[in-house]
Structure 1
Amino acid sequence: MKIGHLVESLDPHGVAAALVDLSAAGRAAGIDLVVVALAPSGHPGIAAALERSGATSVELNVAPWDPRAIPKVVEVLRSAGVELVHSHGPRPDVVASAAAARLRIPAISTLHRVHDQPADRADRLRRTAKTLARKRFMTRTIATSVLQRDWYHRVAGSTEGLSVIPDGAADPGVATPEEIARFRQGLGVGSDDVVAVSVAPMRRGQGQDMLLDAVAELPEDEPVTVVLGGDGPLRPWLESRVSGDDALSGRVVFRRRADPVELLRGADVQLHTTRHDTMPRPLILGQGTGTPAVATRVGGIPEIVTRDTGALTAVSSSRIADELARMVRDPDLRRRRGAAARRRFLERFEAGVWAAQLGEVYRSALRYSDAPAPAELDTPEPAAPAGSV
């Protein structure tokens, strides 16, 4: 099947990075990808990775809501022989549905957010209108979590045409003892120190401020080093806070340009203390490396992290500190949870599993475009309570 994926851009922090993994695993599921980006990202790495994985990638240069986007996408999809278009995001959804109608091919959309924030009547009406338009113009809709499915049901009134398929990732593998030793040596940590890593993007809502509050609450003799990887608009502020606090500067280090997977492979614990998230890719990758997690109980995170694979906490620095301290003090607990995380990744989130599930939905849409969606292919555990998004 030649499947066109329409995204906003080939941003390495967006959905395009996951499509690299899907493309590499897709051949075994009978899927060839054509990835079309509406806007240039300025990051050539994802385009190169897509090409290496066997996908075709095209970056257009159309301004937001430019009507020329539709004919340009139609031209790309037609010339590539695309049989079905799969969109990701608000603008790609609109363009994909129009392009699919012109080409008379099915259109599928993945939900990547839950719009449960407080809203006035006009906002609620707009959200409902968008959801009803999705039902009208999309052949199928994919939710990445039960949380999204339940939200969709509340807004749309039914889940007809919707399947729940969690995003997947290529197997990052488990680090060897030699690799872990080199990683720890590079950090300058002692053999008894526990290394806790966060690779969430440094932007508003991701909770690094709360994470630093939690680290500040730990006893002074707790043998833990916290590594903050990644980048984002809040990085200068976070670095300034750490450098101005003796307790934090002795415990927290930054690795801006480090590969997130390498950080997770070398970590004893993963920290993901966001205030809202739907299906965070860093947590999926962390499970693949066999790293137990301490994460906040928000959004779709409880569908990734279970009590067997890590600890879920309230959005509270004190609770995060308590769970981190528990993990630091109990190496057997870390080993058990790490092994369970690795098993869960291979069963539920590995890219081959993801590709096979998407392949079934694609075939259903291509063969039976008027038929109801197949039964949910993999039902995650119950979502977080309402109001935790």
Structure 2
Amino acid sequence: MNFHSNSGCDQADAAAPAGLTVRGLRVCEVVKTLDPGGAEVLLVERLLTARRRIVNSAVDYTVICLRASTGELIERLRSAGVTVVDLSSCPRALVYARLAAMVRRFAPDVLNVHSPAPGIVLRPFVRLTRRRSVLVSTVHGIQWPKTMFLDRLTRRLDDRTVAVSPAVAQSRAVAGCRRLLTRIHGVDVRNQREWAARAADVRREFDVPESAFLCVTIANFRPEKNHRMLVQAASEVVRARPDAVFLLAGEGPLRDAVVRDVRERRLAGQVRVLGRVSGARRLIAAADLLVLSSHHEGLPVVVMEALAAGVPVVSTRVGGLPDLITSGRNGILTEPGSPGALARAVLQAMEPRTHSELRAGALADGDGLDMVTTSEWFEELYVDLAGRAGLGRGTLQPQ
């Protein structure tokens, strides 16, 4: 399984040497929201890893977000010395004008946009104002945005487009790009394994019996996550295996409806809706199984966090899941929309011999998902592109 593929670039996907110094480069990362979610967590983890990993880095990172309903990710970035500009207080009608003004003020050497709408505004702005910034877009999902025509039209202005999975790279979401790279990002593997070693403590924190088989779902309560099917599947599982406990963490507009469904099915003792859990990665690491029931996905961070901790995954076969999960090796994939199929897959994964084999496969595959190599890969890309454009003093120097 190749977790670090790269195509369409002069630069091969070779890892940068350990202990790097990057000099004289201003990088601005723009994302629509900075709340806990897949794209946002990948961005934050990459920048935090870069701050820890790149020795004496002179790369000046700035993150601009249009809104943030919580300060969790902003605080993590600022604590690590990353400049964050939060435009949440800006009136909606003026936010994109303010965004363009901030980019003009920072005058970055490299501008990486992680959301379609800001990209539609910033690509022509940068080109029309004759700024020499290198333009990069990172595409995190496979669905076309509502503004897909404008996104496709302006994407040709990018110097590079980075897809976060092979599934994204093959989707219409990257239509119109000229030079496409593929990079599965990864997670903090060491941290996940440290949490896995403390699984008993985490289970006690969430009042999970020691004898329980713990199934965890981390997903916001939105239609595409299909929690209703998950609850239906869970009801079939607990009838066959009373030792199963399902913990559902997340926020969203459908949370109350899921709580009612659990109550009506009389599952409250074995299917618990936790709401938002700060640091949910520790709950994943303490699980016996990660379960997802989505209609649509890009490349879920929670799946990478599960594999890093040696936790098998049972999920619907959607989006980038097949890029990470091989049925019978590190998890089981089922067809979307079938609660019976999902329940059968969970019960199969609960069998002791099968679970032991899946756990071993998950742990082995987790080795290839370390964010360290991805943070180095991005900095190599930024330095290379800026150097070609004659920007900054883009050099990589071994320490």
Per the normalisation by structure 2, the TM-score is: 0.80
Aligned match of 1:88: 114
Is the 2:139–2:173 Cα contact (8 Å) retained in structure 1?
A: no
| Cα distance between partner residues in 2 of 1:269 and 1:287 | 10
SS at match of 2:142: coil
Shift of 1:278: 1.0
| Cα distance between partner residues in 2 of 1:324 and 1:142 | 34
Is the 1:272–1:283 Cα contact (8 Å) retained in structure 2?
A: no
Is the 1:278–1:300 Cα contact (8 Å) retained in structure 2?
A: yes
Query: Which of 168, 171, 185 is the matching residue for 1:148?
Result: 168
Residues 98, 153 of structure 1: alpha-carbon distance in 2 compared, 3 angstrom cutoff: closer
Residues 134, 287 of structure 1: alpha-carbon distance in 2 compared, 3 angstrom cutoff: same
Shift of 1:166: 1.6
Aligned match of 1:26: 50
SS at match of 2:360: helix
Aligned match of 1:205: 224
Shift of 1:90: 1.7
Shift of 1:218: 2.5
Is the 1:229–1:254 Cα contact (8 Å) retained in structure 2?
A: yes
SS at match of 1:323: helix
SS at match of 1:68: helix
Query: Which of 59, 65, 69 is the matching residue for 2:98?
Result: 69
Counterparts of 1:216-235 in structure 2 under 5 Å?
A: 216-218=235-237, 220-222=239-241, 223-235=243-255
Counterparts of 1:165-314 in structure 2 under 5 Å?
A: 165-171=183-189, 172-174=191-193, 179-218=198-237, 220-222=239-241, 223-246=243-266, 248-258=267-277, 259-307=279-327, 308-314=329-335
Counterparts of 1:280-359 in structure 2 under 5 Å?
A: 280-307=300-327, 308-315=329-336, 316-330=338-352, 332-347=353-368, 349-359=369-379
Aligned match of 1:110: 138
What CA deviation, in whole Å up to 9, does each residue of 1:331-356 have, x standing for no partner? Answer: x4323322332332331x32112112
Aligned match of 2:81: 54
| Cα distance between partner residues in 1 of 2:144 and 2:124 | 27
Residues 92, 67 of structure 1: alpha-carbon distance in 2 compared, 3 angstrom cutoff: closer
Shift of 1:178: 7.3
Q: Structure 1 vs Structure 2: percent identity of aligned residues? A: 22
Residues 199, 345 of structure 1: alpha-carbon distance in 2 compared, 3 angstrom cutoff: same
Is the 1:62–1:69 Cα contact (8 Å) retained in structure 2?
A: no
Is the 1:9–1:59 Cα contact (8 Å) retained in structure 2?
A: no
Residues 52, 220 of structure 1: alpha-carbon distance in 2 compared, 3 angstrom cutoff: same
Shift of 1:361: 2.3
CA RMSD of aligned residues (A): 2.6
Shift of 1:132: 3.6
Is the 1:89–1:111 Cα contact (8 Å) retained in structure 2?
A: yes
SS at match of 2:200: helix
Residues 343, 62 of structure 1: alpha-carbon distance in 2 compared, 3 angstrom cutoff: farther
Is the 2:315–2:334 Cα contact (8 Å) retained in structure 1?
A: yes
Is the 1:264–1:270 Cα contact (8 Å) retained in structure 2?
A: yes
Is the 2:31–2:113 Cα contact (8 Å) retained in structure 1?
A: yes
| Cα distance between partner residues in 2 of 1:115 and 1:44 | 27
Question: Which moved further from structure 2: 310-319 or 170-179?
Answer: 170-179
Runs of 5+ consecutive residues of structure 2 not aligned to the other structure: 1-24, 391-399
| Cα distance between partner residues in 1 of 2:99 and 2:204 | 53
Per the normalisation by structure 1, the TM-score is: 0.82
Shift of 1:323: 1.0
> What is the count of residue pairs matched by the alignment?
353
